[in-house]
Structure 1
Amino acid sequence: MKTLFVAPTRNAVGLSSTALGLARSLERQGVRVAFFKPIAQTHELETDDSVHFARALLHAQLPDPIALGVAEEQLSQGQTEQLMEDVITLARQVAAEAAGGSGAEVLVAEGLALNDRNGYAGTLNAALARNLEAEVVLVSSLAGMNAAELADELEIAAQGYRRSDGSGLAGYILNFAPRELDFGGLLAELRTRSRVLASGELPLLGVIAENAALSELRTLDVARALKAEVLNLGEAQTRRVTSTVVTARTVPKMAHLLTSGALVVTPGDREDVIMAASLAHLSGTPLAGLLFTSSSGPEESIEKLCRAALNSSLPVMRVATNSYHTASLLSRLGGRVPHDDLERMERTIDYIADRVDVVPLGTRLRTETPVTERRLPPSAFRYELIQKARAANKRIVLPEGDEPRTVRAAIRCVEKGIARCLLLASPERVRFIAEGQGLTLPEGLEIIEPEGVRGRYIDALVELRKSKGLTAPMAEAQLEDNVVLGTLMLALGEVDGLVSGAVHTTANTVRPALQLIKTAPGNKIVSSVFFMLMPEQVLVYGDAAINPNPNAEELADIAVQSAQSAAAFGITPRIAMLSYSTGESGAGEDVEKVKAATALVRERHPELMIDGPLQYDAASVASVGLQKAPGSPVAGRATVFIFPDLNTGNTTYKAVQRSAGVVAVGPMLQGLRKPVNDLSRGALVDDIVYTIALTAIQATQHPADVG
């Protein structure tokens, strides 16, 4: 499925109608389309405009968007990632339920319109587009703009949505084009002034000319806006206001204005105007209505004379304001389409769909070969991580069972169905910790008192370690360590995975795993990766936690393990073997080790995309990669970064994490027969939750493939 994110370049560009028109235009090409509004436009309680019309006119079964107040609260509290995950959850629901459950081929997502009250909207729209893995359709307006201003506006907007690899832009649509527009001249000047337009990176998808008929209010809409007293409803629900006639002149001077769609605004004492309007109506002219000002009305004799008109299909209303003030209010009525005016919005959507050129776009979206490589954004990674963990339904032991962060994380995992967590701790102690944080222990959370079960594991530990001369008293002493106890439970198959490290060192977590779990078939070492949640995509760093100075053979194993881990979590592996030089530009023992490791991987796993040695910038920046390693399938596009030693890897991951504000999920251990994962002692509750999810997913993999 492809996602098109429809975003405004400024305020009042006709965003909602354009998004709906684009969806209809794609439907006409036979594409299965789903429409989606991620976040509500206003704080109003009524259904969002575009959502309402999508349900009514596109027959979409879409859920309500996230309330604007909820989104703003999450943004203000620094919970942007949680907001993005909520959006992705909604998007997947919409796409899955589209076309009667057949699923959507294209998801059209409408961003937030820009206004004076939501200065954050532009940044939020860019984040939404990125995390939805969308291509952006920019919507702009020619109203009050010259070519130079428009070119600058589109260029700036394109920079905000373009991804680092140059992708992310689907095209642009121009609204409110003057009828007398010199179209060819405009395009020529735009291309002269804008590189993104001249290159074709941002193609024109449509120019929508002004159409006054699409802005015509119903007489009923006018009555509602002015809070008018309706004296005679008539056909107010269907007649539309095409002109306003304010009676300042005599009837002979204004009679020619009494045409179809005219709203006649007059004080009640202008008997001549009232009679003229009545005659026009009775002669067959469908006036929009008669509006009395200053709380007035005609004299009884005039009312009787004109009753045939005033009590018929002619709408008649009355307001308290004078004629001048009333005319001023009428001139400022907005163009928002009321929810019950389906006919007007239907015409608007069709009008836009007729003028949007999506044939090339629609063909590409339908016939494009299946996507085999994704730039997996952070929120999509987290969403898929949680969904896969839920499907796995694994039992994960947490030896640090009375550690406050661990207790909170276990409660969250059980409540959200991420994993079946088992805490090794005193139940009374866990309950005390939970109550101290204002939490309630859910029924599904298992708690085992270690003192009550250690004895039953002594014989099993002796059996596993008998070759090392382990005796029963020695085993009993080792089992005093909850990490050893939890690891033995994993070795015996009583649990599916283990997570520790919130208060223990990496050595405390890994040593029992190496002794009791051992490496998986085909793996000689245990290594680790961090999933680095960069702004645009998730990258894999290995090894940044376990092996101090791997040799070429070990470095090759780390690369293969890391590639398998990346693939298991939806990331297409492009492996960069990092060094201080690129290609043949450097020499020395460290460079030769990287060259040898790269050669070993190519020989043993020719299916993997790998290159090295590469400097970090050559591996990660497209322009640098093209210059330093032209023709490389990895340079500038790497997703898996293999560091030559622990010093480099650990320093780099922490520098990126702290200086760039990047979330690092892990370390996730690789190469073990069963999943054991280590936490940083500075881990947050969210870090523990995601590590538990990683562990649950690892437990579903074949032992030979366990990360």
Structure 2
Amino acid sequence: MARSVYVTGIDRGDGRQAVELGVMELLSRQVDRVGVFRPLVHTDAPGRADHMLQLLRSRYRVDLPAAELYGLGYEEAAALAAAQGQDELVSVLVERFRALERKCEAVLVLGTDFADTNIPDELAFNARLANEFGALVLPVVGGQHKDQQTVTAEVLNAHRAYADLGCSILATIANRVLPSAESQVLLGLAGKLPEPVYVIPEEPALAAPTVAQLIEATGAEVLLGDAAGLARDVRGFVFGGAMLPAFLGALTEGALVVTPGDRADLLIGSLAAHAAGAPPLAGVLLTLDQHPGPDVMALAARLAPGTPVAVVHEGSWPTAAALTHIEGRLGAASPRKAEIALGLFELHVDSAELTSRIELGRSDRVTPMMFEHELLERARTDRRHVVLPEGTEERVLRAAEILLRRNICDLTLLGAEDAVRRKAASLGISLPEPAEPVEPVDRARLWIVDPATSPLRRRFAQRYAELRAHKGMTVELALDVVTDVSYFGTLMVQEGIADGMVSGSVHSTAATIRPAFEVIKTSPGASIVSSVFFMCLADRVLVYGDCAVNPDPDARQLADIAIRSAETAAQFGVEPRVAMLSYSTGSSGSGVDVDKVRKATELVRERRPDLLVEGPIQYDAAVDPQVAATKLPGSEVAGRATVLVFPDLNTGNNTYKAVQRSAGAVAVGPVLQGLRKPVNDLSRGALVQDIVNTVAITAIQAQSKEFGGA
């Protein structure tokens, strides 16, 4: 039977979607097949789609039909209860739940939302369903606008209510608590409940609606704006009626400007202010169904590309009344808010404690998602400092926000601070101020450094001149060299200011690696710098090396690549069984290329007799037990290989891309190996999640003793 967690509450407005997302994250780290079930859904009103079900289904790849993820609509449930009684309603819901449960290793149940449900004694109804499902209950109590005494009393009352109804309580969470009251609530609840109690403070970025959400709510017509602009948070409103000079002084960061559509001066003035970064805005909403002329719209599009401009039929007053009551929500269309919610949950909830109480046995299979989760968790447990030289690149900024929100590592972004912050604001990304106090102290830190103006410039120039003196480098020449972000970032790592560096989303591999060769250099015993990809297949993780750096390694270099790849695999939890790949298996073939692989295999066995290695071996014999039984019976590696070493770059690069595209594998890397300190390269086609994963890997590398970690 699958282990299930039933997240429920006592009233509306508790923000439990953030808790549901956090619990789903915990479950998906442990097992492969995680389901989600909503007993009752709203199906009676257009636009009331279950955004949370959609988000969880898409984010966690719940490969089940949507119709199997819920029980009944509220109206259908009410009719059934009226006609045949609540027992029959519960029986139907239990039957639907059991059908889903049989297909899953764990199930997250989303309780009723206390919003126009017409369910008598809704709390008791949720408690009964949880008991019938055999699920652990996680009550969530909303603390918005409530003082410490009120929140404390409501948490105790909620716990008592569910406990008295026979529920097995996993933990209790007070959510959306005023930050000023967080510590007092924790103190007031200390030792008063038999299960853990967690307190999550209010997060304005979660409560803020997106521009897209406000447009949907008001029925506005979008005139300008791209997907990134529509995803911006609206942190306030500025209603325009004054003349332009006075109006500009009222603009605030993240505000949505609401003004009559015939005020072209306010429209253009707002967008010009946004383009200048003084301040960056969420967008502009025009009222009275007034569409600016084509010349005005053309100018608007050039001033602030991507910034939303929309028009509504209503006047400013009814529009204002509609806007001010809308709160942000989690959904598949707002992945950024999901990352914010997860970061908040992970910061304030003891994930290890909660996971141990759910008592899930870890799945034998390691799925791509589980591998990614493990990377982030390991990086977070001993937080390191990583420098990202490409500080104004959109994907890097989006990855940086995720890394900081989820407390994965401390970061330095390189670039002029005004430019970095202006670009982030235009993307709707919120970066913390480097100088502001960080509370709690566990929250990840950010610094933005401009190599051209940094006090470190001269120190780095002197250091680089020393390292390259044999090439004729002088301090005067080095002062220019170190303003290059790749060199500056590499020197930050070399000098111990940062623990690692990740670059390459817009720079070539050579631009990333050359400074590392010159400054950091290879580690003792390494004859070559090489790379691996972690290939996350549906049921396992394989390590491919070298698919990114060395065009045609000789036998000695190939042996070094194999040993380093095995060490990297072990560092990330993959038991190394090394296959030295060729077009021939065993002694069946001959030729220069096969002989190179055979010699490399012998060298690996000489240098590391403890490693399981086989070669030369063909790919199918390395990974397929049936083929292995025919071609290499009795081999400890054949059919079970986890580290696959390719004979040259042409073979390796094409194979990893073929597997990635045709088998739907997630390729994490390239991860560089053989350097004294961790520096990693990105593909120029890297996605945001690729950057997050690579930074996490770099942080984990920095944790190891090899790089000076604990």
Partner SS for 1:664:
strand
- Gap regions ≥5 residues in structure 1: 8-33, 47-66, 85-112, 133-226, 228-337, 344-370
Could you say if the C-alpha distance between residues 544 and 71 of structure 1 is closer, same or farther in structure 2, counting changes exceeding 3 Å? farther
How far did 1:477 drift?
2.5
Structure 1 or 2, whichever has the larger Rg, is 1
* d(CA) in 1 for partners of 2:460, 2:481: 11
Which residue identity lines up with residue 434 of structure 1 in the other structure?
A: A
Q: d(CA) in 1 for partners of 2:565 and 2:676?
A: 15
Q: Deviations over 1:40-85 (max 9, x none)?
A: 4333399xxxxxxxxxxxxxxxxxxxx996344343x4x235999x
Q: Is the 8 A contact 1:374 1:571 kept in 2?
A: no
Contact 1:393–1:419 (8 Å) recurs in 2: yes
| Percent identity of equivalent pairs | 49
CA offset at residue 394 of structure 1? 0.8
Q: Secondary structure at the match of 1:686?
A: helix
Tell me the residue number matched to 1:236.
none
Residue 517 of structure 1 aligns with which residue?
Answer: 520
TM-aligned CA distance change 1:572 to 1:433, over 3 Å = same
Written as runs of structure 1 = structure 2, the 5 A alignment for 1:272-283 is none
Equivalent in the alignment of 2:412: 422
- The equivalent position to 2:559 in structure 1, one of 556, 559, 562, is 556
Q: Secondary structure at the match of 2:370?
A: helix
Alignment check: 8 A CA contact 2:383 2:410 kept: yes
| Structure 1 residue 669 displacement after superposition | 0.2
Call closer, same or farther: CA 1:386–1:83 in 2, change over 3 Å. farther
Counterpart CA distance in 1 for 2:634 and 2:404 is: 48
Where 2:40 maps in the other structure, the secondary structure is coil
Choose 440-449 or 371-380, whichever is displaced more: 371-380
- C-alpha spacing 1:430/1:595, structure 2 compared with 1 (3 Å): same
Which AA in structure 2 matches 1:536?
A: D
Relative to structure 1, the CA distance from residue 38 to residue 534 in structure 2 (aligned partners, 3 Å threshold; closer, same or farther) is closer
Structure 1 residue 700: Cα displacement: 1.2
| Structure 1 residue aligned with 2:423 | 433
Q: Look up the match of 1:211.
A: none
The answer to whether the 8 A contact 1:43-1:68 is kept is no
Q: How far off is 1:602 after superposition?
A: 1.1
1:526 — aligned with what?
A: 529
Matches within 5 A, 1:645-684: 645-684=648-687
Q: Give the alignment partner of residue 44 of structure 1, picking from 33, 36, 40.
A: 40
Distance 2:690 2:424 in 1: 18
Q: Paired residue for 1:396?
A: 386
Paired positions, count: 396
Q: C-alpha deviations, 1:574-617, integer Å up to 9, x for none?
A: 11111111111111111111111111111111111111111111
SS in 2 for 1:677: strand
Q: Contact 2:677–2:707 (CA<8 Å) still a contact in 1?
A: no
Q: Distance in 2 between matches of 1:341 and 1:80?
A: 32
C-alpha separation in 2, matches of 1:636 and 1:5 = 32
Tell me if the contact between 1:522 and 1:704 (Cα under 8 Å) persists in the aligned partners.
no
Which of 378, 382, 385 aligns to 2:372? It is 382
Residues 36 and 670 of structure 1: CA distance in aligned 2, closer, same or farther (over 3 Å)? closer
CA distance in 1 between counterparts of 2:610 and 2:637 reads 13
In the TM superposition, residue 643 of structure 1 has moved relative to its aligned partner by: 0.4
Q: How far did 1:341 drift?
A: 9.5
Which AA in structure 1 matches 2:592?
Answer: E
Q: Aligned partners of 1:82, 1:684: CA distance in 2, in Å?
A: 22
Q: How far off its partner does 1:677 sit?
A: 0.2
Instruction: Evaluate the alpha carbon distance shift between residue 40 and residue 406 of structure 1 in structure 2; reply closer, same or farther with a 3 A threshold.
Output: closer
Distance, in Å, in 2 between the alignment partners of 1:669 and 1:82 is 33
Match of 2:395 among 405, 423, 439: 405
Q: 1:487 is matched with which residue: 481, 490, 513?
A: 490
2:546 counterpart residue number = 543
Matched, 1:507 2:510: yes
The answer to whether the Cα contact below 8 Å between 1:74 and 1:83 also exists between their aligned partners in 2 is no
Shift of 1:690: 0.7
Unaligned runs of 5+ in 2: 5-29, 43-48, 65-92, 109-119, 121-161, 168-360, 434-444
1:534-570 deviation line (CA, Å, top 9, x unaligned): 1111111000000100111111100110001110011
Letter in 1 for 2:559: A
Query: SS where residue 383 of structure 1 aligns?
Result: helix
Question: Could you say which residue in structure 1 is the equivalent of 2:81?
Answer: none
Partner of 2:181: none
Letter in 2 for 1:420: D
How far has the Cα of 1:476 moved from its partner?
A: 2.0
Question: What SS does the aligned partner of 1:510 have?
Answer: helix
SS in 1 for 2:37: coil
Report if aligned partners of 2:397, 2:429 keep a CA contact under 8 Å in 1. no
Give per-residue Cα distances to partners, 1:181-221, cap 9 Å, x unaligned.
xxxxxxxxxxxxxxxxxxxxxxxxxxxxxxxxxxxxxxxxx
Q: Which amino acid aligns with 1:678?
A: D
Q: Which amino acid aligns with 1:461?
A: Y
What displacement does 1:664 show? 0.6
Q: What is the distance in 1 between the residues matched to 2:362 and 2:627?
A: 25
Confirm whether residue 596 of structure 1 aligns to residue 578 of structure 2: no
Other structure's SS at 1:450 match: coil
Change beyond 3 A, Cα 1:6–1:488: closer
Distance 1:401 1:583, change over 3 A: same
Q: What does the per-residue CA deviation read over 1:381-413, in whole Å, with 9 as the maximum and x for residues that have no partner?
A: 212211110122111111111111111111111
Correspondence for 1:293: none
Cα distance in 2 for partners of 1:6, 1:519 equals: 48
Change (3 A) 1:38 1:588: closer
Partner SS state of residue 513, structure 1: helix
Letter in 2 for 1:451: A
Match of 2:283 in 1: none
1:608 partner letter: L
Q: Deviations over 1:446-492 (max 9, x none)?
A: 10122112334211111121122211232123123110111011111
For the Cα contact (< 8 Å) 1:377–1:538, is it kept in 2? yes
Q: Is the 8 A contact 2:31 2:363 kept in 1?
A: no
The 3 A distance-change label for structure 1 pair 403 and 680 is same
Give the corresponding residue for 1:448.
449
Aligned with 1:600: secondary structure? helix
Alpha-carbon spacing, 1:341–1:511, altered in 2? closer, same or farther (3 Å): closer
Following TM superposition, by how much is the alpha carbon of 1:705 offset from its aligned partner in structure 2, in angstroms? 9.7
Residue aligning to 1:201: none
Aligned partners of 2:33 and 2:663: how far apart in 1?
Answer: 30
Aligned residue type for 1:581: S
Alpha-carbon separation, structure 2, partners of 1:469 and 1:114: 78
Task: Give, in angstroms, the shift of residue 494 of structure 1.
Answer: 1.0
Is the contact made by 2:36 and 2:56 (CA closer than 8 Å) also made in structure 1?
Answer: no
Answer yes or no: is the 8 Å Cα contact 1:520–1:704 preserved in 2.
no
Letter in 2 for 1:42: R
Q: Summarize the Cα distance change of 1:342–1:391 in structure 2 as closer, same or farther, 3 Å threshold.
A: closer
Aligned CA distance change for structure 1 residues 540 and 36 (closer, same or farther; 3 Å): closer
Q: TM-score, normalised by structure 2?
A: 0.51
Which residue of 1 is the match for residue 706 of structure 2? 703
Which residue identity does 1:404 align to in structure 2? Answer: E
Of 70, 73, 88, which residue of structure 1 is paired with 2:55?
73
Report the Cα distance in structure 2 between the residues aligned to 1:35 and 1:517, rounded to whole angstroms: 40
Deviations 1:409-445 (A, max 9, x none): 1111111110101001111111111112111112432
Give matches, 1:114-263, under 5 Å: 125=103
- Structure 2 partner of 1:457: 460
Tell me the C-alpha RMSD between the 2 structures: 4.0
Q: Deviations over 1:503-562 (max 9, x none)?
A: 011111011101100111111110000011111111110000001001111111001100
Alignment-mate amino acid for residue 486 of structure 1: G
Q: Tell me which amino acid in the other structure corresponds to 2:446.
A: L
CA gap 1:341/1:515 in 2 versus in 1, 3 angstroms: closer
List aligned pairs for 1:576-615, cutoff 5 A. 576-615=579-618
Name the CA distance, whole Å, in 2 between partners of 1:82 and 1:388. Answer: 25
